[in-house]
Amino acid sequence: MTARWIVGVGVAVAMGGCGNEPGAGTDSGGGGDTGGTGGAFDPLYSDYFQTCRSCHMPGAWGTHTGIERTLDFSTVETAYQTLTTGTASGLVGNDAACNGVRLVGSSYETSLVAAVLDENVHAAFNDPDHPGCDADAIPDMTVKVGFPPSGAFLQALRDWIDAGAPR
Ligand code: HEC
């Protein structure tokens, strides 16, 4: 009788512990946007765009002369704002031809952010106002990240841009 009672308490304590810990441990991806908005852009950020912040955020800029400086991937909010309202800046050399090009344009094919991630957009990129910003001038950011985005991510990025880049 006594032994069975002790086992019962042990199970109850163990289950209580399990119930508390996973919730506390899965918050690390939240960054500065605790709670989030559940917006359309959030999955794109958590899936791949957050990897860009190792270089494209204010604290990281000093070490890269000639890096693209409009983009700020510090948080999902700054990423959304700089992508959807900004044009490329700070680029030097060959890449300077892309300064002034919209990061998210009116379509997937005319968005510089798609051209640095999707080889098909990259190959055909053509902005009449910035003729020098072509496949030779645009770098491949998947190499900088270290791994390519999934096909599902690129499709979701296309759908998001074609929907008007909603927050
Ligand atoms: C290791 C640092 C690094 C990472 C990570 C990185 N970038 Fe870049 N990015 C650069 C540098 C440096 C440039 C300037 C061009 C160059 O030197 O290749 C640049 C340029 C760009 C440009 C301008 C392209 C042009 O026409 O020159 C865009 C857009 C861009 N990055 C987006 C991104 C996105 C989106 C990600 C994440 C998926 C990302 N970058 C990840 C360093 C990085």
Q: Name the residue with the closest Cα to ligand 1, atom 22.
A: 68
Mutate which of 56, 65, 78 to test ligand 1's pocket (most atoms within 8 Å of Cβ)?
56
Q: With a 6 A CB cut-off, is 99 part of the ligand 1 pocket? A: no
pLDDT of 36-88, one tens digit each?
A: 567 899 999 999 999 999 999 999 887 788 999 999 999 999 999 999 999 99
- Decide: 167 and 86 in contact? Cβ < 8 Å: no
Predicted confidence at residue 27, as pLDDT, reads 41
- pLDDT, average across residues 14-40: 47
Q: Tell me, what's the pLDDT at 62?
A: 75
51 lines ligand 1 (CB under 6 A): yes
Above 70 in pLDDT, residue 22?
no
Query: What's this model's pTM, rounded to 2 decimal places?
Result: 0.82
Output the six-digit token pair for 149.
């985005």
Distance of CA 156 from the midpoint of ligand 1 (Å): 20
High-pLDDT (> 70) share of the chain, %? 78
CA distance 86 to 112: 11
